[in-house]
Structure formats: C-alpha cells, structure tokens
Amino acid sequence: MELVLITLASVLAFPPLELDQLTPAAQNGTAVERVLLARRAEDLRSVEQSIVVLMEPGARLRSYEFDVDIRVAAARGALAVVIADPDAPKPSATSLRAAERHGIAVLRNRARINVAELVCLLDLARRGGAERALSNVSSALDVLRMGSGGDAGHLVASVGRSLGVEMMLTEAPDDAVMSFRIDREAEGKEWVAIKPSAAEYAPGLLASLGRLTAAAIELDRITGRRASELPIRSRAEVLSELLDSSKSGRSDLLRRARALGLYVDGWHIAARVEVPDPEDEGELKAFTVREELSESILEHLTSSGTWHMARSEGALLFVKMHRHDPGGEAGPAAVRAVQKALESLPNSAAVFCGVGSIHSGPTGLISSAAEARAAAAAMRTRRRPNHAAAFDNLGLRRTVIEWYASQAARNAVDSVLAPLDELGPGKAPSAIRTLQAYLDNHGSLSRTAEDLHLHRNSVAYRIERIFAALEVEPDNPDDWLLLQLACRARTFA
C-alpha cells in the first residue's frame, strides 16, 4: 500500500507530533520535499519547500537574530520553522508578525523527545507510505484501549484524529460514508461513520477500525450498565434470600442487607407480580420475558420513590422501604404506583399482582411479602390480570391468612398435606398446585387443564393419584373444604 501524504497540512496533522502552531500555515496545500535541521537558518543554503527544525538557544528567540532567521528561511522558500526545545520561550511579537507577513508557519514542539526523534517523526509524516499508516493505526488502537470514559463522541473524534480521517457519530447510516452499528441490543440506533479516504487507507482497513471503534463503545456501555446494576443486583439477591430464609439463618442476611443500604429495620410494603410462563416457549423465553417485565415495572415504580426488586419461585417482588412510619396513606399510594406500572406494560403482557399492607421490621417485610402473595393468588383465581390487588381489600382471604398464622392451623394443614409433602421437594409443590387448581375450578378437569397448560387426561391422571395418596373422598363436602383451606393457606404462606 503506497501512501503519499506530503502536503504541509498532512505533515502537521500527523498524530504523533505535538506541535503548537504560533502563526498560521499559509502554505498548507504545498508539498513538503525535505525536513532540515540547523542551529540557524543562515546555515542552510537551499531550504525550498522544506520544514526547518531549529535548535535555537532560548535567548536568541527573543532577539532580532530570530527575526533574521525568519526572513532568511522565507526568502529561501521554507514552508515552516519548528522550534525543537519544548521549554523555549515564545518568540517576540515582531518575529511572529514577520512570519505571518512572509507566509511561513512558526511551530513549537511540546513533546519531551530529543531532536533526532522530532526530525524522524517529521520526515516520516512527509514520506507517508505504509510506515506512516502503521503509526497512525497504532495511535488509534492506543486511543481505543483507553476507552470512551462515557463520552463516545470524544472517542470517535480522537480515533479519527489519530488516523487523519473524518469520523463521527450518526443516528442513521449514510450511503456516502462507511457506517458501523453501536450497541445492537439497544432501542436507540447509533452508528460510527467514517468518510473514506482512498488515497490514504484501503477500505478494508478503515472498515476494521470502524468496527473496532463501535465495539469499544458498546463494551464501555455494557461495562457501565453492569457497574450501575451491580448494587441493584446485590440488593435483589439478598432480598430474595431473606424472603425465602428460615428464622435461624436470617441474622447474617440481615447484616448483609443493612450493609447494602436496605432499610430492613424500617417499614415495608411488598408487591408481588406473577408472570405466567409462555406456552410452548421454553424456560429461556420465560426467563427473558420476566427480565423485561421486571425492568419495565421497576423503571416506572422509581417515579414514586425507591423500590427494590427480588425474586421468589419465579415471581417478581418489589419492595418499598421507609426509614420511619410513612403513615396510613403509604399503602394506597403504593397500590396506585404499582397499578400505574402495570398499565405501562405491553398489551400482550398478562400478569397477576398483589400488594401487601405496610409492616415494620424484618418480620414485617416477610409478612407483607406473604400478604402480597395471597393477593396475587386471589387475582389469579378470579382471572383478573394486570390489576394490583391490595391485601387489605381481600375480605375473607385475609381471615384465612390470619387463621393460618396460628400454630394449631399450621399443624392441621401439614397433617392434611403430609402425603403430598412426602413426594419430595421436586414433586410436592406441583401436586399441591394441581390440587388447588382443581378445587378452585370446582372439579372441572377442562378448566384445570387450561389453567395449568396441561392436557385434560394428564390432569385427570394426576388428580386420581393425588386423592388416592390423601385418602379422602372427593365427594365429601367436609374433606373438600378442608383441602381447600389447606391448599389456600399453604399457597399464601
């Protein structure tokens, strides 16, 4: 690849050079034929179309002697004079005016390099070719390694300057430029655009650098999102563990929650959102749907204050915590906020939601979550999706929860459901859910199958085995009522 970059403007734009331009470069479009080194311009006989690097003593720059150097260099055809010493004083105003008058550029090196390196860089910039292109690409890669620091526009412009090409961020691809999509998973569309420069770089090289720049910006944004989400995820994990923990293992979780800034000793309101699994879509699809819904709901809830998210058995939990008692209006306000968040969901989303009442302390947090679960179960039973049901408005269902709070009631429920519990943690919950759905649907196999997304024959087989294990009569009203209370209380718990 033969690159010819020999104009004065191209030389001065070479990224490795660090030059302060003290006077305008009136001959930017003129080709540079040589780079010369001297102590004084008078030492050079022929400087036509050259860049002259002067090793001037500092005192000379402030005297009439530098005026002479400028006039001599201009008279002999020099395009620019470069002062090599980065600590040298600025030339006098008289010298600079003389340079402007004669159309010669005066530049001062600010890089801490020796004179030989400066001359070599200038000559490399003058000669162009593959060596200069490689140096430019190396500079661009150094910029990309440093990252965007959150400013994608600055990164793109810096890479462009390193390459000596025009690069920018655009909102749409353009046929006149090379465009590379950033953050393909984001809703907004943004592109890195490069105006091709056939005389300097092969299109394939520019395309590779464009893709690298877009990828660097995308990586920085992903890293930034993960960093911002880390505290949220940590709190969510601790809350999830806390809500599912036994009393004996709760102290360490409470300590971790306090360390993460969760007001577990304050006042709490929990909202539970149950997301039915998409039919025939698989676990990955169900997980993706829950993640998208959780982000949407949490985003809308934050407009009403600070909410924290957790998960429990596939359901989404949103908890609002207060340092102090927020008063009686906090509960209705939380229900309204949750309802507003549900109304923002896509029309295709059908979820069942319940909101617990306000309670204090760690035990109160668990109580509010249990009430939210009861309210969500009520909405599922009533087939009322996307409605935030307050536990306080459940009527008789609240009585069931309070009944189950007694030790005698829990013992009775455990005794009734013991044959199903003996199936083990993998099968028992499924059997109890199947039984409850069958009881809630008044013994209708078709409606139970519809609720559970199972075939009617499969439901019939399961119900037959469940009743056989329980050793109860399906037609006995007392047994039916006892099973309904047991299933409902177990579900609410």
pLDDT digits (tens, 9 = 90+) for 424-461: 888 888 898 899 889 888 888 999 999 888 899 999 99
pLDDT category of residue 406 using cuts at 50, 70 and 90 = low
Task: Look at residue 191 and tell me whether its pLDDT is greater than 70.
Answer: yes
Q: Do domains 8-127 and 263-394 have the same CATH topology?
A: no
Residue 456 has what pLDDT? 92
b/e map 121-143, b = 16+ CB within 10 Å: bbbbbbbbeeebbebbbebbeeb
- CA distances (Å), origin 147, targets 36, 217, 424: 38, 7, 52
The SS3 assignment for 170 reads: strand
343 CB-contact burial (10 Å; exposed 0-12 / middle 13-18 / buried 19+) = exposed
pLDDT digits (tens, 9 = 90+) for 23-40: 887 787 788 888 888 887
Which of the pair, 223 or 357, is modelled with greater confidence? 357
The CATH number of the structural domain formed by 263-394 is 3.30.70.270
**How much of the chain, in percent, has pLDDT values that exceed 90?**
9
Token representation of residue 362: 């760690």
The architecture of the domain spanning 8-127 is 3-Layer(aba) Sandwich (3.40)
**The pLDDT of residue 1:** 39
Angle at CA 455, nearest 5°, toward 449 and 456? 60
pLDDT score recorded for residue 399: 66
A 10 A CB-CB count for 245 gives: 16
Q: What sign does the dihedral 279-280-286-289 (CA atoms) show?
A: negative
Largest Cα span, the chain: 119
Give the span between the Cα atoms of 295 and 298, in whole angstroms: 5
The whole-angstrom separation of Cα 71 and Cα 406 is 104
pLDDT of residue 335: 92
| Structure confidence at residue 261 as a pLDDT band (50, 70, 90) | confident
What is the mean pLDDT of the segment spanning 316-344? 88
Among 51-55, 139-143, 389-393, the least confident range: 51-55
Domain extents for the chain? 8-127, 131-223, 263-394, 407-492
Whole-angstrom Cα distance, residue 183 to residue 194?
17
Q: What is the DSSP letter of 308?
A: E
If pLDDT is split at 50, 70 and 90, which confidence band does 242 have? confident
- The runs of H, that is alpha helices, within 344-476 are 361-382, 396-404, 407-421, 428-440, 445-452, 456-470
pLDDT at position 404: 61
CA angle 92, 96, 100 (to 5 degrees): 170
The pLDDT score that the predictor gives to residue 353 is: 92
92-110 as b/e: b if 16+ CB within 10 A: eeebbebbeeeebbbbbbe
Q: What is the mean pLDDT of residues 13-32?
A: 82
* Full-model pTM: 0.43
